[in-house]
Amino acid sequence: MKFKTFAAFVGPSLFMMLVFIALPLVSVFTQSFYNTQPVFEQVEIESCTPGFPDPVCVTRTETKPILGEDGKILTQTRFTGLESYRNVLELGRVKDALANGSWRQLMAIDFWKALRFTLTFTLLTLPLVVVVGLAIALAVNNAAKSLRGPVIFISLLPFIITPVIGALSIRWLFIGDGILTSFLEWWLAQDIAMFAQGWTIELMMLFYRVWHVAPFAFVIFYAGLQTVNQDTLESAIIDGANRWERLRYVIVPHLMPLIVFVALIHLMDCYRVFEEIVGFSSQSHVISLQWLTYDFLTPDDAGNRSIGRASASAMLTMIGIVVLLIPLLTRTWRDHKGSH
């Protein structure tokens, strides 16, 4: 292909990627080193609020931002270097916790608590998604032709549902005297509260995520299964390979690039786990890194938000994803080089 044609095809996407991915990333990166704060003054303010029967007036010293001449809050931005990162990572407290050898103390620090959950969540769901996805793909592939359409449709449903809605549906099935909790209570004949402790919530999150993502893995693997060399399979059968051995030595090696692909996408997606935290309102028990960023970014009633720490936490999340992806990327790179 001529370079000009190539450029004409790739140009628009490159431009989009620059505007919507690269620039925001650079902006977040820069913001994580700066801190913008309003200029405050201390003022005595008398405020009157309703009471019965007469209004109640109190005078208090309040800290209020100063308004500039344009009617906007006066702000000052200063370079803070790594301060936001230090505030997120809280390394001083980590050192204390490690010195005491106390896991509990370490888990009391937001970032590390979030990292612990994010990592276990990502690494536990990964094999489950791959295995469940592969199992569905094999089942569909071996199902009678007339059944395939409906089975594919039904197995794709969880993937189509908006993540937050999916999480909320599971929450409603289990919260309080939800249908499934009531069923479990009847079945096990004991009182069950799924949202009362951390591990049951984590279990529901794992279940939800696998339920939601497995169809994606299934679609990819199912497509891959259509390209398995039938001659190789037949010769394997003639050689006396049983079902398991055919899977182990013919199908899985053939699907390996796809498995790596699914793993890559899943790691990237899963490390940003967020819907589950909001959907299950699990903040008291487990939080994730993405939720931490969101929490920094959400303004409170008085309108405060901490952009600096949110940016730092977002950058740390990105670094985390890159670190997780390195083994898979190097593997893909080796295969790519090897095939030439």
Residues 6+ apart with CB under 8 A from 310: 293, 294, 296, 297
CB 62 within 8 A of CB 42: yes
Each residue 226-265 as x (binds another protein by CB under 8 A) or -, in order, gives: ----------------------------------------
Token pair for 158: 């969880």
Q: Which stretch binds another protein (CB under 8 A): 9-17, 143-151, 194-202, 329-337?
A: 194-202
Interaction between residue 302 and another protein (CB under 8 A): yes
CB of 160 to another protein, least distance (A): 25
Query: What letter would DSSP give residue 57?
Result: E
Give the number of residues in contact with another protein, rule: CB under 8 A. Answer: 62
Q: Which of 112, 117, 121, 195 binds another protein (CB under 8 A)?
A: 195
Interaction between residue 293 and another protein (CB under 8 A): no
3-state secondary structure of 29: helix
Q: Which of 205, 212, 280, 293 binds another protein (CB under 8 A)?
A: 280
- Distance, CA of 119 to CA of 111 (rounded, Å): 12
Token pair for 120: 């276990």
Interaction between residue 72 and another protein (CB under 8 A): yes
Interaction between residue 87 and another protein (CB under 8 A): yes
Interaction between residue 338 and another protein (CB under 8 A): no
CB 196 within 8 A of CB 202: no
Residue with Cβ nearer another protein (70 or 231): 70
- Distance, CA of 107 to CA of 113 (rounded, Å): 5
Query: What letter would DSSP give residue 72?
Result: S
Q: Which of 100, 120, 169, 298 binds another protein (CB under 8 A)?
A: 298
Q: Which of 8, 23, 193, 323 binds another protein (CB under 8 A)?
A: 193
- Distance, CA of 159 to CA of 172 (rounded, Å): 19
- Reported as type and span, the H/E element at residue 40 is strand 40-49
CB of 77 to another protein, least distance (A): 11
Q: Which of 5, 49, 190, 226 binds another protein (CB under 8 A)?
A: 49
Peptide linkage before 38 cis (omega within 30 of 0)? no
Residue with Cβ nearer another protein (219 or 312): 312
Residue with Cβ nearer another protein (274 or 280): 280
Instruction: For 177, list phi and psi in degrees, rounded to 5.
Output: -105, 45
Interaction between residue 309 and another protein (CB under 8 A): yes
Q: Which of 149, 198, 253, 327 binds another protein (CB under 8 A)?
A: 198
Q: Which of 1, 3, 13, 61 binds another protein (CB under 8 A)?
A: 61
* Cα 202-204-210 angle, rounded to 5 deg: 100
3-state secondary structure of 211: helix
CB 80 within 8 A of CB 34: yes
User: Which chain residues interact with another protein by CB under 8 A?
Assistant: 35, 37-40, 42-43, 45-58, 60-65, 67, 71-73, 76, 84, 87, 104, 107-108, 110, 175-176, 193-198, 280-281, 283-285, 295, 298-304, 306, 308-309
